[in-house]
Each structure stands twice: as structure tokens, then as C-alpha cells.
């Protein structure tokens, strides 16, 4: 049930937006073991003068922010980071140009169907 935001500069993704979203979804499924139909991914593209990146960054530099319920193991996070880098390589993105930020609020800070996620059967394990 993570909420994922991909931010990058406009232009390089082109008509491959849907493919990029699917690649990130595959990495989330592999890395943190969410169900395949658990999807909440947004792609935000900025004009080049609205997204300052490191001077040695490639055209495909991107920031991937994943907000997810706290509790994943370090091993799951390692799997996620590696899977994201591998999936982005198919788009010509260098590993150094993939920045991942995990934001991990506790389950009681997620609202699901009008209730705290801590009181709902999410249908998948958090501690993977």
C-alpha cells in the first residue's frame, strides 16, 4: 500500500511513461513484497529550470519517494533499492542517477477505508 512519487526532468521519458510506472511497480513488488495489484504511483515531470540536480547527473536523473508503513527490514529495503536501479537501467538511467527516499510513518498514521491501517487487515505482511 505504498504511495510512490517519481520526480524527474521533462523530456527524456517521452512516450515511455506507462513503461516507467510499470518498472517501478515491479521493483516495489520484488523489493518490499507488496501484492501486484497494490498500485499508487505518480510520475511528476518538471521543466529543466524547475528541477536542480547534481552537476554530474545524467539526463534521466530521478528521485523516487516511497511513503510506506514502517516496519520493512533492511534486507527488504536493499532489495527495493537494487530492483529500482536494475529496472531504471532499461531506460538508460545510471545507478548514480536513481535517488530513493523512504518515508515510513507508523500504521496508525495511514487511513484505510475510514480507519487507521493499524486496525485493518492489509492482506500482506509489512515485516518482509
Residue 122's pLDDT is 83
Is the domain covering 3-119 a CATH 3.40.50.150 domain? no
Q: Give the start-to-end residue ranges of the domains of the chain.
A: 3-119
Please, which pLDDT band fits residue 127 given cuts at 50, 70 and 90? confident
pLDDT digits (tens, 9 = 90+) for 37-51: 999 999 999 999 999
Question: What's the chain's average pLDDT?
Answer: 95
CA atoms of 107 and 94, how far apart (whole Å): 34
HEC sequence for 72-116: CCHHHHHHHHHHHHHHHHCCCCCHHHEEEEEECCCHHHCEECCEE
Q: What's the whole-model pTM score?
A: 0.93
pLDDT digits (tens, 9 = 90+) for 86-111: 999 999 999 999 999 999 999 999 89
pLDDT digits (tens, 9 = 90+) for 51-85: 999 999 999 999 999 999 999 999 999 999 999 99
Amino acid at each position: 500500500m505504498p504511495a510512490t512519487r517519481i520526480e524527474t526532468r521533462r523530456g527524456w521519458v517521452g512516450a515511455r511513461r506507462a513503461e516507467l510506472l510499470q518498472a517501478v511497480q515491479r521493483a516495489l513488488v520484488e523489493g518490499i513484497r507488496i501484492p501486484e495489484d497494490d498500485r499508487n504511483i505518480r510520475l511528476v515531470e518538471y521543466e529543466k529550470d524547475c528541477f536542480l540536480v547534481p552537476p554530474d547527473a545524467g539526463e534521466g536523473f530521478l528521485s523516487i519517494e516511497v511513503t510506506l508503513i514502517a516496519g520493512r527490514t533492511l534486507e527488504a529495503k536493499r532489495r527495493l533499492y537494487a530492483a529500482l536501479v536494475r529496472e531504471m537501467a532499461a531506460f538508460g538511467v545510471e545507478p548514480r542517477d536513481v535517488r530513493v527516499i523512504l518515508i515510513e510513518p507508523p500504521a496508525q498514521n495511514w487511513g484505510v477505508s475510514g480507519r487507521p491501517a493499524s486496525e485493518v487487515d492489509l492482506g500482506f505482511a509489512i515485516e518482509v
